[in-house]
Amino acid sequence: MMGKEYSKYSDKQLFENCRSNLISKDELFTELYMRYSHRIYAYCLRILSSEDDAKDVFQETFIGFYKSDKFQKLDFYNISIFGYLLISSRNLCLNCKRARKNFVAVDELLDSFNNSRYEEKELLQLISMSLEFLDFQHRETFVLHQYEGLSYTEIAEITDSKASTVRNRVWRAKDKIRKILAPYIDDLNRNMKVNV
């Protein structure tokens, strides 16, 4: 098919070409993997905060997608592939979080950083770390909105919630992150005034 230049085709066109035997299922899967793997892995990593767990869930997501009846029967007519993969990885992330019970207490993390100074560039790392202290629903909606750039409506569809609920969760997640990071931001502001 067309010199193997699949990136210019929509997901729907790729499935149609596969149904017409213009491309193989393996070629279709490879192209879909190339399109969505980075975003799905980033989602898993931000939700689980563990590279090992994120890699496992990421791998399970794509293996499950390939083995699914929907993929094998090429039964993706009016379904967003990214949405399907995101919902699959979300469910696997939930299972993973239920399976592991080794959460670090907020006080322990805060104590370990109390006497440390951070540069502004490290604030992003602190935000990522603070995600670990949000419950799953708040973390998930924050990640999907802030990192993936999804609208409240899109997130509501993925999480089977109302858009107003999603908006509220994003706001509460931001508020919790602000409270968690307040000591660090105050410290950064003091250091910036001293250095000026």
pLDDT digits (tens, 9 = 90+) for 128-170: 888 888 998 999 999 889 888 889 998 998 888 998 999 999 9
The closest of 114, 136, 134, 135 to 182, measured between CA atoms, is 114
pLDDT digits (tens, 9 = 90+) for 87-111: 999 999 988 887 765 444 344 444 4
Q: Does domain 8-101 have CATH number 1.10.10.10?
A: no
Q: Is 79 helix (H, G, I), strand (E, B) or coil?
A: coil
Q: Does domain 103-196 have CATH number 1.10.10.10?
A: yes
Domain ranges of the chain: 8-101, 103-196
- As a residue count, the chain comes to 196
Average pLDDT of span 182-187: 74
